[in-house]
Amino acid sequence: MRLRLEGYGEAGDFGGPNGDLFIEVSVRPHDRFARHGDSLETTAEITPAQAVVGSEIEIETIEKKKVVLTIPAGIQHDTALKIPGEGVRRRGRPGDLLVRVKIRIPKHVSPETKDLYEKILTLEGSKAGKKKGFFLGIEG
Stretch(es) of the chain classified as CATH 2.60.260.20: 31-128
Q: Report the candidate in 137, 52, 63, 133 with the shortest Cα–Cα distance to residue 97.
A: 63
- CATH number, domain 31-128, options 1.10.287.3610, 3.40.30.10, 2.60.260.20, 3.40.50.1220: 2.60.260.20
Query: What per-residue confidence (pLDDT) applies to 12?
Result: 82
Q: What b/e sequence results for 24-47 when a residue is b if at least 16 CB atoms lie within 10 Å of its CB, and e otherwise?
A: eeeeeeeeebeeeeebbbbebebe
- What is the band of 130 on the pLDDT scale with cuts at 50, 70, 90? low
Say how many C-beta atoms besides its own lie within 10 A of residue 85's C-beta.
13
Partner residues linked to 66 by β-bridges: 60
Q: Report the candidate in 104, 98, 105 with the shortest Cα–Cα distance to residue 32.
A: 98
Using CA atoms of 106, 30, 89, 58 in order, give the dihedral in degrees to the nearest 10.
20
Q: Per-residue pLDDT tens for 25-72?
A: 887 888 999 998 889 999 999 999 999 999 999 999 999 999 999 999
Q: Per-residue pLDDT tens for 6-16?
A: 888 888 888 88
Taking CA atoms, 90 is separated from 33, 38, 39, 96, 111, in Å, by: 17, 7, 10, 12, 52
pTM: 0.71
